[in-house]
Amino acid sequence: MAIQKILTVLFLYLALAFLLVELTNAGGLQLGFYQRTCPGAELIVHQTLYRYISRDRTLAASLLRMHFHDCFIRGCDASVLISSTGNNQTEKDAIPNKTLRGFNVIDAVKSALEKKCPGVVSCADVLALVARGSVMMVGGPHWDVPTGTQRWKSVDCQRGFVQSTTSFRQHNCPETAICWRGHTIGIGHCTTISDRLYNFTGKGDTDPAMDPRYAAQLKKKCKPGNSKTVVAMDPGSFKSFDEDYYTVVAKRRGLFQSDAALLDDAETRDYVTTQSRTHGLTFALDFAESMVKLGNIGVLTGEQGEIRKRCAFVN
């Protein structure tokens, strides 16, 4: 499926993108799952997370992206948090995941939960709750997060690494429908847009879909071969979750090629222009609905998985 066809006008068919990587939707989750087994679990997540986001708001985008990358490969099982050991290379070390950050935040939240309720709250529930809390703390919408997953089965981590690399290559971008909206917050490395600026078709040219004036501004910051500099994905409000993203895209100033692709398809182009014209009239609701769909893909419940004591390691 081409990038241009991945999402529809209301982004209500998010699950279709995940069918390409053979994910399935599993039930068995429920709201308030930990009310009896770990009272106050969600409050602990919120309080611990706030200590980090209040010091560095850019972490919100990173933690949201981490949640997406986890769900994108085999479902929302927190396998992206597993560290490689010996000859077993995990998803965490796949090229698309090399720029993920915020693992220390997940570890801190999990540690706080383990002190209160040892062996109760799963790592993927932590990741899902952290993603929601991060978005809310920078002005984004609230959505319900059903919990109660084991969220990581003892399967071959090497296979996860291969799937991660292959799946992102198939989509030709590090994001799909849900994270395109998430581009309203966060930053991107110059290396990720180098081809758009300097060698789009292999002839030393610039992507014609990008506003030439915007391209010129980016070239001042991102010189060829620059691997250290970062640029805002939503200039002017990259630390706030708002509807400006669609205005930016409508002006052909989306940072990534996947952003520009939204204007190539009639349905997605109409959605972009509508949100830009109405100042994001349905933006928050649509995003929240998409996140609920995302969080329900490929989950493991009951005896299917395990509750890891440390999210980076199998028990």
Q: Give kind and range of the element (H or E) at residue 230.
A: strand 230-232
Find, among 129, 108, 134, 111, the residue nearest to 53 by Cα. 134
Q: Give kind and range of the element (H or E) at residue 189.
A: strand 187-189
Q: pTM score, two decimals?
A: 0.76
User: What angle, 0 to 180 degrees and rounded to 10, lies between the N-to-C axes of helices 103-116 and 59-74?
Assistant: 80
Per-residue pLDDT of the chain (315 residues; tens, 9 = 90+): 333 333 332 233 343 333 333 333 444 667 888 888 999 999 999 999 999 999 999 899 899 999 988 887 778 889 999 998 888 888 888 888 888 999 999 999 999 999 999 999 999 899 999 999 999 999 999 999 888 765 443 333 344 434 433 443 443 332 333 345 566 677 888 998 999 999 999 999 999 999 999 999 999 999 998 888 989 887 776 677 877 888 899 999 999 888 898 888 888 888 889 889 998 888 888 888 888 888 877 665 555 667 889 999 888
For residue 102, the cross-strand partners are none
Find, among 256, 123, 92, the residue nearest to 182 by Cα. 256
Catalytically annotated residues: 69
Residue 5 DSSP symbol: G
Rounded distance between C-alpha atoms, residue 272 and residue 289, angstroms: 17
Residue 40 DSSP symbol: T
pLDDT value of residue 14: 41
Rounded distance between C-alpha atoms, residue 174 and residue 165, angstroms: 10
90, two tokens: 């995990």
Find, among 244, 239, 200, the residue nearest to 218 by Cα. 200
- Which residue, chain included where needed, has tokens 């994910």? 23
Find, among 147, 173, 181, the residue nearest to 256 by Cα. 173
Q: Would you tell me how many other CB atoms lie within 10 Å of the CB of residue 256?
A: 18
- Which residue, chain included where needed, has tokens 């509807």? 243
